[in-house]
């Protein structure tokens, strides 16, 4: 999945790189962004019928975006701005990631446009990750597994994420801040209506979600030499458009995370439950077999800062339970890793990781839908990289 959710923040001004202009100047855009790149090698099960078969053992990978952001404060104190994220590489013909405008003031901040839902935007993840590497949903994952171990995902991701929506952040009261989002159509990141005025409402595609809602609450406290950050919330599909063939149930996801800091030391944990992560009717012999899959992800991480170095460790566990008679098997997936980050200068980090990922199925000998033997899969992963922010 797409995600730079290796750190988290509920600050309503996050992502606005340009300084606010005066009202007389109007909105002037500034440029920011990031570039993550990594070289990775993996040693895994690569014989016939196993996940590593006919796959390369190493590669160079990157993820980059250019951000155009700007804002202005009007004479009445109302803040107005815009934010556009341009992908550094073409993702299936979609060069724009997020694009939204905002209005802010004493009431908080309202954003409108293509953006993550409240849970995905504000959720808390443990320390110990690097810009490219994580035990959860990193930019780079070298093990040849079916999925990663995501722990910061809202229901909009089932339709691709970043759908057009309304997203609201409340002011901060005694350390608490609420994020709330509403998504009319989960699969509509853009509305390609050609040239001319927009006419009519978007079509409802088969399997597309509608009327999705997400809520996430964060709390931050800074004590004498220590600090605490907590977050918790949920994400719900309002309806799933049904079509020919097996129907898919509405999803609802729930997430919480807690991080503590003590001087240069940080520790934290996270949990997310995916109810009806993939649930559709049908029989085992169908072209599209029956699935009744619930899943949960839990894990933690630690980090220690020493001068320009940050040393970290993370662990995550995914448990996927399929209650239907289908070709998809129950399985667990664990991932443990060590990271090191060295700061060369402001916004310039060198990163390294060593990770071990292993999968077990129940009953043993389980296979994926394509016949790949995923039981007792394990992979050792090594990576070096850099993150540049600007």
Residue 108: CATH number of its domain: 2.40.160.10
Q: Does residue 217 lie in a domain region?
A: yes
Report the C-alpha gap between 171 and 166 in whole angstroms. 16
Mean local confidence (pLDDT), 281-308: 77
Does position 342 have pLDDT exceeding 90, yes or no?
A: yes
Structure tokens at 224: 């004498």
Q: Which residue has the higher pLDDT, 186 or 105?
A: 105
Identify the CA nearest to 318 among candidates 355, 378, 274. 274
> Per the domain annotation, does 251 fall within a domain?
yes
Identify the pLDDT of residue 49: 79
Range of the domain at 326: 32-190+209-389
Average pLDDT on 221-246 reads 88
What is the rounded CA–CA span in Å between residue 300 and residue 302?
7
Per-residue pLDDT band at 284 (split at 50, 70, 90): very low
The per-residue pLDDT for 22 is: 55
Residue 325 lies in a domain: yes
At residue 1, the pLDDT reads: 39
Least confidently predicted of 39-48, 109-118, 133-142, 154-163: 154-163
Q: What burial class does residue 247 get, using C-beta atoms within 10 Å of its C-beta: 0-12 exposed, 13-18 middle, 19+ buried?
A: middle
Has residue 147 been placed in a domain? yes
Q: How many residues does the chain have?
A: 390
Region of poorest pLDDT, from 120-129, 220-229, 234-243: 234-243
Does residue 13 belong to any structural domain of this protein? no
Q: Which of 235, 257, 250, 108 is nearest to 183 (CA)?
A: 235
Q: What is the DSSP letter of 373?
A: B
Element (H, E) at 37: strand 30-44
State the pLDDT confidence band at 8, using cuts at 50, 70 and 90.
very low
Query: Is residue 145 scored above 60 in pLDDT?
Result: yes
Torsion of CA 243, 161, 237, 123, to 10 degrees: 160
pLDDT band for 276, please (50, 70, 90 cuts): confident
Task: State the pLDDT at residue 15.
Answer: 41
Q: What is the pLDDT of residue 37?
A: 94
Q: How many domains are contained in the chain?
A: 1
Name the one residue in this structure whose structure tokens are 């016949």: 371
What does the mean pLDDT of the chain come to? 85
Report yes or no on 17 lying in a domain.
no
27 part of a folded domain: no
Task: Count CA within 13 A, CB hemisphere, residue 134.
Answer: 24
Token pair recorded at residue 36: 């993550």
Report the alpha-carbon angle 106-107-113, nearest 5.
120
User: How much is the pLDDT for 16?
Assistant: 40
Q: Answer whether residue 272 shows pLDDT above 80.
A: yes
pLDDT of residue 225: 92
Contact 38, 60 (CB under 8 A): yes
Predicted confidence at residue 236, as pLDDT, reads 95
Q: Is the pLDDT of residue 368 over 70?
A: no
Specify if 20 maps to a domain. Answer: no
Please report the pLDDT score of residue 5 as a whole number. Answer: 39
DSSP 225-265: SEEEEEEEEEEE-SEE---SSS-BPPPEEEEEEEEEEETTE
Q: Give 372's pLDDT tier (boundaries 50, 70, 90).
A: low
Better-predicted residue by pLDDT, 126 or 371: 126
């Amino acid at each position: 999945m797409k995600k730079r959710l290796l750190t988290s923040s509920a600050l309503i001004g996050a992502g606005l790189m340009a300084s606010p202009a005066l009202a007389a100047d109007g909105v002037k855009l500034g440029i920011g962004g990031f570039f993550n790149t990594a070289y990775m090698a993996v040693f895994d099960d690569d014989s016939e019928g196993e996940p590593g078969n006919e796959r390369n053992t190493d590669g160079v990978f990157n993820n980059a975006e250019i951000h155009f952001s700007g804002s202005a404060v009007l004479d009445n104190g109302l803040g107005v701005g815009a934010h556009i994220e341009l992908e550094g590489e073409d993702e299936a013909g979609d060069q724009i990631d997020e694009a939204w405008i905002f209005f802010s003031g004493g009431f908080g901040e309202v954003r409108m446009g293509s953006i993550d839902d409240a849970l995905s935007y504000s959720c808390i993840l443990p320390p110990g990750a690097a810009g490219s590497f994580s035990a959860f949903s990193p930019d780079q994952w070298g093990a040849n597994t079916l999925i990663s171990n995501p722990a910061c995902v809202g229901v909009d991701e089932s339709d691709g994420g970043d759908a057009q929506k309304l997203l609201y952040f409340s002011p901060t009261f005694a350390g608490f801040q609420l994020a709330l989002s509403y998504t009319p159509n989960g699969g509509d990141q853009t509305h390609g209506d050609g040239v001319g005025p927009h006419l009519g409402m978007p079509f409802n595609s088969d399997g597309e979600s509608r009327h999705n809602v997400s809520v996430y609450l964060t709390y931050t406290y800074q004590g004498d030499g220590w600090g605490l950050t907590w977050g918790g919330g949920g994400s719900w599909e309002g309806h799933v458009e049904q079509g020919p063939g097996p129907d898919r149930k509405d999803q609802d996801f729930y997430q919480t995370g807690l991080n503590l800091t003590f001087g240069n030391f940080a520790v934290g944990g996270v949990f997310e439950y995916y109810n009806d992560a993939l649930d559709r009717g049908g029989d085992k012999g169908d072209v599209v077999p029956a699935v009744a899959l619930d899943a949960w992800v839990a894990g933690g991480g630690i980090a220690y800062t020493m001068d320009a170095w940050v040393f970290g460790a993370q662990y995550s566990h995914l448990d996927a339970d399929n209650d239907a008679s289908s070709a998809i098997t129950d399985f667990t997936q664990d991932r443990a890793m060590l990271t090191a980050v060295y700061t060369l200068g402001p916004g310039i980090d060198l990163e390294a990781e060593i990770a071990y990922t292993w999968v077990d199925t129940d009953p043993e000998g389980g296979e994926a839908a394509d016949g790949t033997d995923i039981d007792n899969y394990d992979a050792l992963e090594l990576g070096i990289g850099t993150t540049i922010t600007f």
